[in-house]
Amino acid sequence: MERYTEGCLVCGAEIVYSDQPERRECFYCGQAGDTNAACQAGHYVCDTCHAEPGFAFISQQALAYQNTDPVDLATQIMRDKTINMHGPEHHFIVVSALLASYRNAGGEIDLPSALHVAFSRASSVPGGACGFWGSCGAGVSTGIFISVVTGATPLSEQEWSLANLMTSQSLNTICQHGGPRCCKRNTWLAITQAIDYVEEHLNLSMIHSEKTICEFSSRNQQCRKARCLFHPEHLEA
């Protein structure tokens, strides 16, 4: 996604400042805000999208997505050249793909707001939490997803249990597939677990992708290859 570095991030045009703030929707994430600054073409970019290109890109993909297959959406996002082979951006990819698909399947959420909340939480889970904390960020992000859609807080009862149970189930699946870490594998595993979980506990159906075949293996020096569920050789075996 090209971003201009001067003037409007979206189109490069000059920014026009108004005396009175106007209500506009962020070009990238859709969040409405009162602003005195927009370009000549009317583009407005919120502070989060301005500071965090990864947030802007992933949110934009999530908002534009029309289907209910979160593995498919996550994989589409991963193909962008701005997404690293591994890295904590995958934590936000997990929760964004789930939120978009959940909304498209009929879940009642305000997606732009949900993405902002999810980003502030997911981006505070550092890369390497899998090995250092014993809590893979992809798994934690499924708990963030359930927390956001159920409105859980530390004082909730049922929602509190639902969010923590979600994370535990994702981590349970992730650990059974063995290390070393792979942010692609763990993203797909966590999302797949969340689809089943939402069906069972929130009575809402999202689509399971057709068999996912990894297209990123050649970029992963620590790939488990045939020992990974998603590797082409594993599927042929």
Of 43-62, binders to Zn ion (CB under 5 A) are 43, 46, 49
Count of residues binding Zn ion (CB under 5 A)? 12
Shortest distance (Å) from residue 140 CB to Zn ion: 23
Of these, 39, 77, 194, 223, which contacts Zn ion (CB under 5 A)? 39
| Under rule CB under 5 A, residue 29 binds Zn ion | yes
Shortest distance (Å) from residue 10 CB to Zn ion: 4
Do the beta carbons of residue 8 and residue 15 sit within 8 Å?
A: yes
Return the number of the residue (16 or 213) whose C-beta is nearest Zn ion.
16
Q: How far apart are CA 125 and CA 133, in angstroms?
A: 10
Determine the Cα angle at 19 with ends 16 and 21, to 5°.
Answer: 85
Residues 6+ apart with CB under 8 A from 141: 91, 92, 94, 95, 118, 122, 125, 190
Which of 29, 52, 28, 23 minimizes the C-alpha distance to 114?
Answer: 29
| Under rule CB under 5 A, residue 32 binds Zn ion | no
| Under rule CB under 5 A, residue 9 binds Zn ion | no
Of 69-108, binders to Zn ion (CB under 5 A) are none
Shortest distance (Å) from residue 62 CB to Zn ion: 12
Q: How far apart are CA 195 and CA 142, in angstroms?
A: 10
Return the number of the residue (58 or 223) whose C-beta is nearest Zn ion.
58
Return the number of the residue (3 or 201) whose C-beta is nearest Zn ion.
3
Return the number of the residue (105 or 122) whose C-beta is nearest Zn ion.
122
Residues 6+ apart with CB under 8 A from 77: 57, 58, 61, 83, 93, 96, 97
Shortest distance (Å) from residue 97 CB to Zn ion: 18
Query: Is residue 127 classed exposed, middle or buried when 0-12, 13-18 and 19+ CB atoms within 10 A define those classes?
Result: middle
Count the neighbouring beta carbons within 10 Å of the beta carbon of residue 16.
13
Q: Which stretch binds Zn ion (CB under 5 A): 11-19, 130-138, 154-162, 217-225?
A: 11-19
Shortest distance (Å) from residue 8 CB to Zn ion: 3
Shortest distance (Å) from residue 38 CB to Zn ion: 8
Torsion angle in degrees (nearest 10) through CA of 43, 49, 52, 55: -120
Shortest distance (Å) from residue 65 CB to Zn ion: 16
Strands 15-25 and 32-39: antiparallel
Residues found near Zn ion in the complex (CB under 5 A): 8, 10-11, 13, 26, 28-29, 39, 41, 43, 46, 49
